[in-house]
Amino acid sequence: MASSTERIRVRLPEKFDPARHMVPLMKKITDTHGEGFEVDSIEDGMAVATRQVAVTEVSHNIKSKTKEVRLPRSVKPTDGEKMSVKLADQHGDGWEMTKFEPYLGKAVLTQLSPETARCRGAAALALGVKPWEVQVTPRRDGGFDLELPRTYMPSKHDAKLEEVATGVVGRDGWYVAVNAQQLTASIIPSAPPTFPEGIAFPLTRLGKGSIDRTPFGMVLPDPGADAGDEISIDWTASAWALVAGTPGSGKTVTLNAIIADSLSNGSALAIVDDVSKAIDFEWARPFCRQGGWGCDSLEASVGTLGLIRDEGARRSKVLKELGISNWLDMPDGRRFQPILVIIDEVSALVVPDPVPKGIPKDHPLFLEIGERNLARAMIQSYMRKIIAELRFVGVRMVISTQATNANTGVDPGLRTLIGHKILQGVNPSKAARSQIFADESAVLNVPENVKSGGKRAKGVGVAALEADAPAVYKSYYATTDDYQTALRKLGIEESSNAEPSSRDINKYLPTLGDESEATAARRGAMKDPMAELMGDSGYDENGRPLKGAALAASQTRVLSNMASRA
């Protein structure tokens, strides 16, 4: 036990009168510096006060750089700030109070490096506690180990600790590993997570997955990890997916991975695409269901989707007979085979061609444009009806598009029905993100180090999948020859008539104009499907084709209705 004198100096106000103001002065000294002080002198506008304190250094552990200090009895729990400053000032050379136990009458000092002291201060601020309530020890790798206070809560403090790691004591890529049960944490130096230049599709796993969950890539690894989790579409959470992205962003690579895995695990396949882009999926043509290759013309696209809708209607009747509302609840052995429908470049398929001004209504060019636009309107109608009506019969659909605004055939009303949203590309605009995601702010952005990663950036995008957390991902890749070879080794059924037949097309596609005998026969067999879709049949009440002014008026109404529905 050693005795020492603690001395303080207090500046006095003008006109200070010891006879009248000594009591307020002593109260101020006690409130600010603690009890036990006595004023020794007053001169030159300053009061000098001293008190005798007993300080005992119980131990000085050089190896651990700690000191245990005996505190005066007068020290209260609320004196932590003052004691921290006082002890640091008394001992200097980086000695900081790291434990304060006034009820036990002791404090522990630790010699901290400037970096450790800064980490401790930042962590204490993030956790909302005093610095001595957080124990910080430097790690050999340049990071820090922390002992957390009992008030730590993951939901409240983890994000703030990550900010300390990346923005205060470290840089981008550093991360925090927390053991909430042990109340410990480590701030670990690391490079920012990224992707490899390419991620090969695991072809050896084809046919060994789930028919209800389709993987298509890898999630961005966690900090410090070499590989991320697999990202996959859970079809039981939503039967519809939307893949958006500019040309060259990797949409086709993603779609190919989805197609290959779905086929290998038992799904049937139908593909609808613009003729100019159909070559991208030519490899999958042999594996399409009967009538499922709707890529050779707009008319073929209508036929393929019409067949899908009819199959959905048939399945709905089966479920009704079984008294079941969802095909997933069907008994073993009777469950429908899922049908995966891919609609690629939907804008090229459904956006109407403009009608040149000044062309007479009975001109062949006017009729040709009308026929094409009718097919486009039918494609959009079937697509919407499948999404609206066939959720529970085993039909699944992936729509691919470059943009998702109302002018591209994927308007907000349609997007709200689609649960899985995938945006391909590393640097989409905020507008593009807002168009596809319901809450753009909740979806991660692609990190800068990935954007600038050269080949590492290829095939990268962001996804908000139903029932899963939003994620940054990179698509699996394999050549189309590899996919085709692997599927054939598995014995996946191939169709000799994947294209819809003329009869299929005639069944689902109405026509306009002065018709040939074959067209008229087709029209007669259809029982006026135009009226159902467009509200106008193009025929008089006796079933004869309209001509002249009556035909022109009918065509004008049809085109007007198509434009309003597009």
Report if residue 13 sits inside a domain: yes
* pLDDT on residue 14: 87
The more confident residue out of 53 and 286 is 286
CA distance 415 to 149: 46
Are residues 381 and 529 part of one domain? no
Q: Quick check: is 161 in a domain?
A: no
Q: Which has more confidence, 412 or 400?
A: 400
Residue 283 maps to a domain: yes
Higher pLDDT, 565 or 284: 284
Q: Please tell me whether residues 466 and 330 are part of one structural domain.
A: yes
Do the domain assignments include residue 189? no
Let me know whether 549 and 462 are in one domain: no
- Measured CA to CA, the distance from residue 335 to residue 315 in angstroms comes to 10
CA distance 400 to 344: 5
555 in the same domain as 529: yes
Encode pLDDT of 350-379 as tens digits: 999 888 887 877 788 888 888 999 999 999
Number of domains observed in the structure of the chain: 3
Token couple for 330: 């069907």
Burial of 183 (0-12, 13-18, 19+ CB in 10 A): middle
pLDDT of residue 402 exceeding 50, the answer is yes
pLDDT band at 561 (very low <50, low <70, confident <90, very high): low
What angle do helix axes 364-389 and 298-322 make, rounded to 10 degrees?
30
- CA 14 vs CA 18, 21, 43, 134, 314: distances in Å: 12, 12, 12, 44, 99
Instruction: Check whether residue 542 and residue 474 sit in a common domain.
Output: no
540 vs 91, residue with greater confidence: 91
pLDDT band at 565 (very low <50, low <70, confident <90, very high): very low
The DSSP symbol for 36 reads: -
**Looking at the domain assignment, is residue 257 inside a domain?**
yes
Give the CATH number for residue 317.
3.40.50.300
Residue 35 counted as domain residue:
yes
The pLDDT tens digits for 1-48 are 455 678 899 999 988 998 889 999 999 998 888 888 899 998 888 999
**pLDDT recorded at residue 406:** 62
Specify if 107 maps to a domain: no
Look at residue 302 and tell me whether its pLDDT is greater than 50.
yes
Spatial separation of the C-alpha atoms in residues 339 and 362, rounded to whole Å: 41
DSSP string, 334-389: TPPPPEEEEE-SHHHHHSPPP--TT--TTSHHHHHHHHHHHHHHHHHHHHHHHHHH
Residues 189 and 170: their CA atoms lie apart, in Å, by 7
Q: For residues 187 and 196, what is the distance between their CA atoms, to the nearest angstrom?
A: 25
- For the chain, helix (H) and strand (E) counts, in that order, are 16, 21
pLDDT 10s digits, 139-155:
999 999 999 999 999 99
pLDDT the model gives residue 553: 55
Residues 344 and 394 in one domain: yes
Q: What's the average model confidence in pLDDT over 108-123?
A: 95
Contacts of 306 (CB under 8 A, 6+ apart): 378, 382, 500, 504, 507, 508, 509
Q: Is the dihedral of CA 110, 115, 118, 124 positive or negative?
A: negative
Residues 425 and 284 reside in one and the same domain: yes
* Predicted confidence (pLDDT) per residue in 248-260, tens digit: 899 999 999 999 9
Residue 558 pLDDT: 53
User: Which has the closest alpha carbon to 260: 183, 171, 219, 200?
Assistant: 200
SS3 track for 79-121: HHHHHHHHHHHHHCCCEEEEEEECCCCEEEEEECCHHHHHHHH
CA distance 315 to 337: 11
Q: Please check the confidence at residue 120 and state whether its pLDDT lies above 50.
A: yes
**CA proximity to 541, closest of 307, 533, 550, 549:** 550
In a domain, 547, yes or no: yes
Q: Are residues 443 and 375 in the same domain?
A: yes
Q: pLDDT averaged over the chain?
A: 87
Of the three residues 507, 522, 542, the one that is the final residue of a domain is: 507
Residue 273: closest CA among 257, 288, 290: 288
If asked whether residues 495 and 524 sit together in one domain, one would say no
Domain assignment of residue 34, given as a range: 1-55
Please give the Cα distance from 231 to 471 (Å, whole number): 8
Token readout for 351 is 């956006």
Q: How many residues does the chain have?
A: 566
Cα–Cα distance between 337 and 34 in angstroms, integer?
81
C-alpha span between 6 and 350 (Å, rounded)? 87
Do residue 307 and residue 219 come from a single domain?
Answer: yes
Task: Output the pLDDT for position 530.
Answer: 36
Rounded Cα distance between 393 and 239, Å, is 10
Residue 436 clears pLDDT 50, i.e. is over it: yes
- pLDDT of 3 reads 58
Beta strands 420-424 and 240-244: pairing type? Answer: parallel
Rounded Cα distance, 375 and 302, in Å:
7
* Amino acid at the residue 359: I
Q: Is the same domain home to 387 and 281?
A: yes
In angstroms, the CA 52 to CA 5 distance is 5
Last residue of a domain, one of 507, 530, 545: 507
Contact by Cβ (8 Å): 94, 113: yes
Q: Quick one: pLDDT at residue 32?
A: 87
State whether 518 and 494 are in the same domain.
no
What's phi and psi for 185, nearest 5 deg?
A: -150, 155
Helix axes 251-264, 480-489, angle to 10 degrees: 0
| Sign of the alpha-carbon torsion through 547, 552, 553, 558 | positive
Domain edge (last residue) among 460, 491, 507: 507
Of all helices (H) and strands (E), which one includes residue 68? strand 66-70
